[in-house]
Amino acid sequence: MAPFFWVYSVSRILKSKSKQLGKKKVNGQKKRLGAGKKAPAAGASNPLGPQTGAALERSINDAIDRGLTTEACQLADTYVSLYEDRLGYDQYVMLGELFMADKQYVRAHSFIMKALKIDSDRVDAPETLFWIYLKMGDLAKANDALSQLIRFSGLDQEQKYASWEVLLGNTESDPDRVLESLERAGGPPRPGDQYYHEIMYSYLQALSQKGDTDRAWEILESIPEEIKYQTPNLPVMAGTILHAAGDNEGAVVAYTEAFERFNQLPEARWNRALSYLELGQLDRGWDDWLYRFDWTGFPSPNVTFDIPEWGGESLEGKSIVLWAEQGLGDQIMFTSLAVPWIKDPSIDVILAVHEKLFDLMRAWFPDARVEKLLKKTAVDHPVFSGADYHLSIGSLPPYFMRSVEQIRNRPARFLRSDPSIRETILETEGWSADSVLVGICWRSAVVDVSRSVHYVNVNLVESLRNNLPENVKFVSLQYQLTDEEREKLLDLGVHIPGVEFFDEVLAHGRFVGACDYVVTPLTLTNQLAGIFDVPTITWTPSPGNWSFLGQREYPWYRSIAVLMLSRDHSRSSLVYQIGRWLNLAIENDV
């Protein structure tokens, strides 16, 4: 059995949770590691000979002390293979923590489940299970694990678990939950708290998301520098608060300080890229943008190829794989820049896209080869391996949009609408041929706080209908309709297509193309309206987000008009401005 010092060392070095090992009493006795068990004896029963177990333990501890968690895990695997029949609850928990620290979450989970089989009453394993789920991004299971801990814990644990819920709320981008949980936790933690920086980061993030940037900045400034700079969390948050307040110049300064202070911190560089782009400083913004995959929190994986990445070489007579990253709307937006290459007969372009975009991309670019990119690695893929180069589509903007002149003069390609879809809509609803079809969308499928502040609701349709000519008819372009939304639309006489747009992007685009005008926030619907060249009204808080590249007009498509809103705009004023734009557009046949 492993001696106590090994288990304690793992807990001490990882600092994953604050707990007292060996203090739980069982049948009146203090439960200690190794109680009733002995390490394998030297000789025939020990396959590696005398002292091998202790030597392995020392090696594991040494690797942990030096921050070499992967090496420690490899040694731990050897240790487990030799002595698994002698391991107990505490060691399985510590193994789970060790493998979790190395981001081997499946392996970590397996150890914790073994600990739970030994003792389902202790909280050590369930607590570690919560952290594994949280780090894996499995928020449903993390919520369930935390709920069980709260349900069966005593009052003495209530504040601790409430503070953990703060971190969960931040991961869910739910500032209300963050603030409510923090109140139940007794307020902000003391600087010596194990999760001080993470909780304060979540707290300040929530205030910023709620628009209370003055309060967030006041709290941040009150933290002593020797505490503030212990981790990157709070220095990065300085840039986040300034960005949320609309001060991108200040945000750039803050992100630069965090970037330089913390060894070229990738997260700070990524955030600085977005602020530079919002300021219209394209050279600096795109230069930082190219390092986005260095940040482990970037939402898209960096796909592995066994062909070189394109770095500006001539593509005449060559083939290149342009592979997808980020969301579906981003993929459409970025791919719109590939038109010059795709139109060039001397360049063989292979578009590797999300499977939902496969049919759309084939219709949009019949002169390119379109493939589905389903894995994080494209090594040995028969199509991709034969190409000369690869490049992420998100790396196209630095080559094609480095100046306002390039933005305005770049070539574009549009998809044609299908007249039969419009005819079917009119026939189904019994609308006259002179009807003006307005496609309408009010949210995306992801409704977190950072996005929902830009969204409206289904009542937008009713508000607009009452202020537009009678021949204006509405077509729902919203995907993943709720039952309540569907019922409201039917009551208002809105045409609801018989296809789920969330799964059928090409069909979604064709219904967009059947409309005379489109009303939508900055969602996938906006991108589809752009490539079908439909006059569209969208909106964003001034001065726009990074994708506006410092411009007042939306730079990606010519048909998109933008309402620049004040940060304290009301939804009633937004609805009024949308209706005014529609009336003017219809009156002038724009």
Q: Summarize pLDDT for 576-586 with one digit per residue, the tens.
A: 999 999 999 99
Res 552 pLDDT > 90 = no
Which residues touch 380 (CB under 8 Å, ≥6 apart)?
A: 306
CA dist., res. 148 & res. 510, Å (int): 47
Fold: same for 319-409 and 419-587: yes
> Which among 203, 270, 204, 193 has a CA at the least distance from the CA of 238?
204
Q: What is the pLDDT of residues 504-514, one digit of tens each?
A: 999 999 999 99
Strand ranges of the sheet holding 472-476, from the earlier edge strand across to the other edge: 472-476, 436-440, 517-519, 536-541, 560-565
Where in the chain are the domains?
4-153, 319-409, 419-587
Q: What is the pLDDT of residues 12-29, one digit of tens each?
A: 333 333 332 223 333 333
CA dist., res. 138 & res. 109, Å (int): 12
Q: What is the DSSP string of 149-211?
A: HHHHS-HHHHHHHHHHHHHHHHHTT-HHHHHHHHHHTTSSPPTTSTTHHHHHHHHHHHHHHTT
**In the structure encoding, which two tokens stand for residue 238, read together?**
């300085």
CA dist., res. 555 & res. 557, Å (int): 6
CB 410 within 8 A of CB 488: no
Q: Please compute the mean of the pLDDT values over residues 72-87 and round it to a whole number.
A: 92
- Between 18-27, 178-187, 278-287, 548-557, the lowest mean confidence (pLDDT) is in 18-27
Per cent of the chain over pLDDT 70 is: 89
Alpha-carbon torsion, ordered 214, 215, 220, 221, to 10 deg: 70
The C-alpha angle 513, 543, 528, rounded to 5 degrees, equals: 15
Residue the block writes with tokens 């177990």 = 53
CA distances to 249, 541, 563 from 568, in Å: 21, 9, 14
Helices 419-429/505-513 angle, 10° precision: 80
Bridge-based pairing of strands 560-565 and 536-541 is parallel
Alpha-carbon torsion, ordered 114, 119, 122, 127, to 10 deg: 10
User: Which of the pair, 512 or 409, is modelled with greater confidence?
Assistant: 512
Instruction: For the chain, report the end-to-end CA distance as a whole number of angstroms.
Output: 79
Q: Please compute the mean of the pLDDT values over residues 335-362 and round it to a whole number.
A: 96
Alpha-carbon torsion, ordered 270, 271, 275, 278, to 10 deg: 70
Q: Please compute the mean of the pLDDT values over residues 46-63 and round it to a whole number.
A: 71
Q: Please compute the mean of the pLDDT values over residues 510-533 and round it to a whole number.
A: 97
Q: Please compute the mean of the pLDDT values over residues 238-258 and round it to a whole number.
A: 96
Q: Please compute the mean of the pLDDT values over residues 50-68 and round it to a whole number.
A: 82
Q: Which residues of 77-110 are buried (b: 16+ CB within 10 A; e: fewer)?
A: eebeebbeeebbbbbbbbbbbbbbbbebbebbbe
pLDDT band (50, 70, 90) for residue 164: very high
CA dist., res. 525 & res. 512, Å (int): 8
> How buried is 510 (Cβ within 10 angstroms: 0-12 exposed, 13-18 middle, 19+ buried)?
buried
Domain 419-587 annotated CATH 3.40.50.720:
no
Res 324 pLDDT > 70 = yes
Q: Please compute the mean of the pLDDT values over residues 353-357 and round it to a whole number.
A: 94
Alpha helices in 230-345 (DSSP H): 233-244, 248-261, 266-278, 282-289, 328-335, 339-343
Q: Please compute the mean of the pLDDT values over residues 403-411 and round it to a whole number.
A: 89
**In the structure encoding, which two tokens stand for residue 159, read together?**
């504040």
Q: Please compute the mean of the pLDDT values over residues 464-476 and round it to a whole number.
A: 94
What string of H, E and C letters represents the secondary structure of 535-568?
CEEEEEECCCCHHHCCCCCCCCCCCEEEEEECCC
pTM: 0.84
Res 47 pLDDT > 80 = no
Q: What is the DSSP string of 416-444?
A: PP-HHHHHHHHHHHT--TT-EEEEE----
- Between 158-162, 259-263, 371-375, 477-481, the lowest mean confidence (pLDDT) is in 371-375
Q: What is the DSSP string of 451-464?
A: HHTT---THHHHHH
Q: Please compute the mean of the pLDDT values over residues 270-280 and round it to a whole number.
A: 97
Q: Please compute the mean of the pLDDT values over residues 552-574 and round it to a whole number.
A: 88
Res 521 pLDDT > 60 = yes
Q: What is the pLDDT of residues 114-147, one digit of tens each?
A: 999 999 999 999 999 999 999 998 999 999 999 9
The rounded radius of gyration (Å) of the Cα atoms in the chain is 28
pLDDT of residue 35: 30
The CATH architecture assigned to 319-409 reads 3-Layer(aba) Sandwich (3.40)
The C-alpha angle 224, 230, 236, rounded to 5 degrees, equals: 85
Which residues touch 446 (CB under 8 Å, ≥6 apart)?
A: none
CA dist., res. 256 & res. 330, Å (int): 26
Q: Count of CB atoms within 10 A of residue 151's CB?
A: 8
pLDDT band (50, 70, 90) for residue 455: confident
Which residues touch 27 (CB under 8 Å, ≥6 apart)?
A: none
pLDDT of residue 54: 82
Res 169 pLDDT > 60 = yes
**518 beta partners:** 439, 536
pLDDT band (50, 70, 90) for residue 281: very high
State whether residue 321 is helix, strand or coil.
strand
Res 5 pLDDT > 70 = no
CA dist., res. 52 & res. 55, Å (int): 5
pLDDT of residue 453: 57
CB 507 within 8 A of CB 483: no
pLDDT of residue 438: 98
pLDDT band (50, 70, 90) for residue 447: low
> Which among 498, 514, 442, 436 has a CA at the least distance from the CA of 473?
436
What is the residue type of 139?
A: L
Domain 4-153 annotated CATH 1.25.40.10:
yes
Q: What are phi and psi of 475, to 5 degrees?
A: -120, 125
